[in-house]
Amino acid sequence: MEKRIKLEIKPYEINVDGKKIPFLVKDSLATLLFNPALKLNATQVRKNDKIARKLEDCQDDFVLLLPDEMVVIREAIAAFDGFDRNAIELLDRIDRVEEVDVEVKEK
């Protein structure tokens, strides 16, 4: 068994100018991974791209991340200045991730 971090990535509704629209969690997290404030070098941008693709390719409501991938996401969240009220649910989801045990199949 190996540890994974279970993060909810399904969209949620936000109110913009009186209209309800979806907040695209996967896209938002993927974008945050390339925030210029992170000052990513070539190795880091490749690592972040791998995590972004994992998020973008996931078709489920939850994604299972390696613990070190979750650290990268938390660092990206911490480095970003400019969140608004619509991001509260996103930030809450980051705070309430759960650690799960998964059985890893041999390749």
Give residue 105's pLDDT: 83
Asked whether residue 64 is assigned to any structural domain, the reply reads yes
Q: Which of helix, strand or coil describes residue 100?
A: strand
Give residue 23's pLDDT: 97
Written as six digits, the tokens of 93 are 């989801």
Look-up of token digits 């649910």: 89
- The low-confidence residues of the chain, meaning pLDDT below 70, are 107
Give residue 80's pLDDT: 96
4 forms beta bridges with: 100
Asked whether residue 54 is assigned to any structural domain, the reply reads yes
Give residue 106's pLDDT: 75
Asked whether residue 107 is assigned to any structural domain, the reply reads no
* Torsion on CA atoms 11, 13, 14, 20, rounded to nearest 10: 130
What range does the domain containing 71 cover?
2-102
Q: How many structural domains comprise the chain? A: 1
Asked whether residue 67 is assigned to any structural domain, the reply reads yes
